[in-house]
Structure 1
Amino acid sequence: MRRRILADLTPLRTSPDFRRLWFGNTVSWIGQGMTALAISLQVYDVTRSSFAVGLVGLFSLVPLVAFGLYGGAIADTLDRRKLGLWSAVGSAVLSAGLSAAAFAGFHHVWFLYGIVALQSVCAALNSPARSAMMPRLVPAEQLPAANALSSMTGTAGMLLGPMLGGLIVGFRGYQAAYLVDALSFLAALYAMWRLPSMLPDRAAGAKRRASVLDGLRFLATRPNLRMTFFSDFCAMILAQPRALFPAVALLWYGGDATTTGLLVAAPAVGALLGGVFSGWLSGVRRHGLAIVYAVAGWGLAVAVFGLTRNLWLGLFFLALAGAADTVSMVFRNTMMQVAAPDEMRGRLQGVFIVVVAGGPRLGDFIAGSAGDLWTPSVAVVGGGVACVLAVGLLGFVGRRTFLRYDARSPQP
């Protein structure tokens, strides 16, 4: 019974390569979370401007979206191991540069913006390569468990990284936080270095150069894979209440910045718990149906959150939404890794980066606009209901083949 409830650790036990990579990524994600907070604190310390701090997000987002597709194409052309290794080296060098500049007293906001942009370029190259390697590290039946474990890596970085970063900055300054981040990459670099060569598979006579447009054309002709992105749009664009949290904290709960922080953290806590209790995911075969139910669960949880006026009950439903998002992410990733040919996996992961990075930002804009036009309650509840209706129409009316998708005979 325990194995059906708690996270399935089989990939960690049976694959030394996956085990090293998972541990290295977990350590480096925590380090990156530390640096993200430290940079925001340093920018504010230099400028005393919240707008300047907000620009950190913009300088991070634009390169990630712009280079995400090209990073995927490169991952379908070169040895993915080398691409992952050298992009991780680049991230480590950039963090070391931040530390050196802070030790030298070089506090210039445009330097910080430039480092943030370059870090995003490295991430846009690293992530598709790392994700596309997954089917080479574990067998297909273990991919849901491996993706659930990987989801815990990112969530742990978002939760633990800022907390540790705040403590280190408070005790030893920005330079110490940046230096710890640079050192944290050593585990990921060692894991990448130990991997075998990961050249993409190519059919006989296939051209060596991988085109971004070829990847988009492939996606346009594969309805099941395309639906994984459409379903995520329903959640991230229609039912993304994050931009309303400051207003909600004040108007609904009479709270302050601490309350806002709790609202922001709740979905991440739920996502982490969704990974911890993900053992049952390995037994699910109808991945498309599971995605539709998970996205509908996200929308329903967000809508009920919009009806609550008790803080702890609201945090519970936000955590429930985060857990549903983990389920959706696990099966969306698994479908892309299994149903797509190896030579296309990098480009599909590049599209995934653009969707994950850009979708919530568009959702923030829609939610914020709706909150100003009407009320935060209407925006949150309406967005959740719209998400449920949209994913239901997509799955049960538009693409029934997606609902019949079976992991035992995957069809893109």
Structure 2
Amino acid sequence: MDTSDSTTGRRDREPEAPRRRGWRRWAMDTRPLRRPAYRRLWGSTVVTAVGSQLTAVAVPKQIYDITGSSAWVGAASLAGLVPLIVFALWGGAIADTMDRRKLLLITNTGIAVTSLLFWLQAFAGLESVAALMVLLALQQAFWGLNAPARSASIARLVPEDELPAANALGSTVMQTGQVAGPLLAGALIPVVGLPELYLIDALALCVTVWAVYRLPALPPLTGATARRAGVKEIAAGFRYMWGHTVLLLSFLADIVAMVLGMPRALFPQLAAETYAPYGEGLALGLLFAAVPIGAVLGGLFSGTFSRARRHGWMVIGAVVVWGAAITGFGLSADLWVAVAFLAVAGVADMVSMVFRGAILLSAATDEMRGRMQGVFTVVVAGGPRLADVLHGTAGSAFGPRTAVAGGGLLVVAVMLVLAAAVPALRRYRV
């Protein structure tokens, strides 16, 4: 392991960079990249952001090729969601009781081995949906164990005032992967074939394992290694969350935005009906790409907001803007106007992610950060899926545009009521 970093997990101390002037102050805030340990963690994310999306495309494609049924594709998604939720909660508790670097090494290795098994079954022409679903469940279980430790480690690698910038850097990379990964997968499948997508992901994960190996040790600061990570510890995490209103509100803000205001389930219907004159395929692709593209743009210009200290107001404002933009999208009959509103929503989503993540890392103690990140992982994974059910039902009952616009207005109203009724979030600042 690199001995240039602290083996106790303390943040790297480097001289402050001079204040940026001119257009550079608006560009992405890269201060955390001056910290060698964080730079390694972030660099591993750059490599795997695209690679993981190759597998995310390959699995449903292979299942559809075998079965010819979209229902099986949906069932596979559910097979991955359940272990993700269970192991994210458990993984958060584990991350609070053991060296997080060691946990990251174990789980990243597990994810890499799973990707290699995906490649082996595809290369062998197994054509077994059951095998694919078992491997997907195993992969998502490892990811659930990995994500809380990865996110909780950031607060040990950068100073508190750089947490928004660090979150913006990580979120921008992930959002870029969601745009570039599927496009690259679509281009590679006709050239190299489906099995090789899994192999590329497995090789990319080897880079991640090496980067994590070079991180400093990240043991619990309170000597919690003697404690077992079980149901009791998970329950203690939920009690901690209920006892800290600002943490609870940060979760509720995301639930409000995603459950009431994420209309992706209605994109196919809108593309086929409202935006059909523009070409159904073009419209569908633009609708799905617009929010991630907006989020990437928000990340590239994170210097405009990453130094804000009133984190609570930033979350409130971002959720309100998200709801207003979704309302505008629902009212738009012109495709390009609709895409512009979705891009604005993507920018707002990036701002919300940055400051909700910063609140979780700064407001929670180190011994609870893993469990809070576990809950965060469940909220992020489950919210959009609940939104699919809600918007699909509302779209069938009231029409897609009415359902979208109504959901956006509800986001604005509920968020403003929460902010007015419970002052903890709007008063929170670093």
- The normalised TM-score by structure 2 is 0.92
Q: Where does the alignment leave 5 or more consecutive residues of structure 2 unmatched? A: 1-21
Q: Is 1:209 aligned to residue 233 of structure 2?
A: no
CA deviations 1:355-387 (Å, max 9, x no partner) are: 001111111111111111111121011100000
Q: Is 1:166 aligned to residue 186 of structure 2?
A: yes
Q: 1:374 aligns with which of 386, 398, 404?
A: 398
Distance 2:328 2:261 in 1: 12
Distance 2:427 2:114 in 1: 46
Once structures 1 and 2 are overlaid, which stretch shifts more, 255-264 or 220-229?
Answer: 255-264
Distance 1:330 1:3 in 2: 20
Match of 1:404 in 2: 427
CA deviations 1:177-207 (Å, max 9, x no partner) are: 111110001221111000111112227x996
Q: What letter is aligned with 1:245? A: F
Judge conservation of contact 1:246–1:257 (CA < 8 Å) in 2. Answer: no
Q: Is 1:298 aligned to residue 322 of structure 2?
A: yes
How many residues get paired? 404
Match of 2:271 in 1: 249
Judge conservation of contact 1:38–1:166 (CA < 8 Å) in 2. Answer: no
Match of 1:28 in 2: 48
Across the aligned residues of Structure 1 and Structure 2, the Cα RMSD in angstroms comes to 1.3
Distance 1:209 1:38 in 2: 37
Match of 2:344 in 1: 320
Judge conservation of contact 2:287–2:339 (CA < 8 Å) in 1. Answer: yes
Judge conservation of contact 1:23–1:187 (CA < 8 Å) in 2. Answer: no
Q: What letter is aligned with 2:410? A: A
Judge conservation of contact 1:76–1:344 (CA < 8 Å) in 2. Answer: yes
Which structure 2 residues correspond to residues 352-367 of structure 1 after superposition, within 5 A? 352-367=376-391
CA deviations 1:223-253 (Å, max 9, x no partner) are: 1111101111110111111111111112211
Match of 2:335 in 1: 311
SS at match of 2:146: helix
Q: Is 1:2 aligned to residue 23 of structure 2?
A: yes
SS at match of 1:285: coil
Q: What letter is aligned with 1:369? A: T
Q: Is 1:288 aligned to residue 331 of structure 2?
A: no
Distance 1:87 1:401 in 2: 36
Which structure 2 residues correspond to residues 384-399 of structure 1 after superposition, within 5 A? 384-396=408-420, 398-399=421-422
SS at match of 2:305: helix
In the TM superposition, what is the alpha-carbon distance from 1:3 to its structure 2 partner?
3.2
Q: Where does the alignment leave 5 or more consecutive residues of structure 1 unmatched? A: 408-412
Q: Percent same amino acid among aligned pairs?
A: 46
In the TM superposition, what is the alpha-carbon distance from 1:257 to its structure 2 partner?
3.4
Distance 1:261 1:53 in 2: 19
Match of 1:410 in 2: none
Q: Is 1:199 aligned to residue 219 of structure 2?
A: yes
In the TM superposition, what is the alpha-carbon distance from 1:271 to its structure 2 partner?
0.7
In the TM superposition, what is the alpha-carbon distance from 1:56 to its structure 2 partner?
2.3
SS at match of 1:282: coil
CA deviations 1:74-120 (Å, max 9, x no partner) are: 11111110111111101111111111222222221111111111110
Distance 2:123 2:381 in 1: 32
Distance 2:261 2:126 in 1: 42
Q: 1:98 aligns with which of 118, 121, 129?
A: 118
Q: What letter is aligned with 2:210? A: Y
Once structures 1 and 2 are overlaid, which stretch shifts more, 268-277 or 164-173?
Answer: 164-173
Judge conservation of contact 1:239–1:363 (CA < 8 Å) in 2. Answer: yes
Judge conservation of contact 2:87–2:142 (CA < 8 Å) in 1. Answer: no
CA deviations 1:275-332 (Å, max 9, x no partner) are: 1110122321111011001000000000011111110110010011011011001000
Q: 2:61 aligns with which of 14, 19, 41?
A: 41
Distance 2:310 2:58 in 1: 43
Which structure 2 residues correspond to residues 126-137 of structure 1 after superposition, within 5 A? 126-137=146-157
Judge conservation of contact 2:28–2:299 (CA < 8 Å) in 1. Answer: yes
Judge conservation of contact 1:34–1:163 (CA < 8 Å) in 2. Answer: no
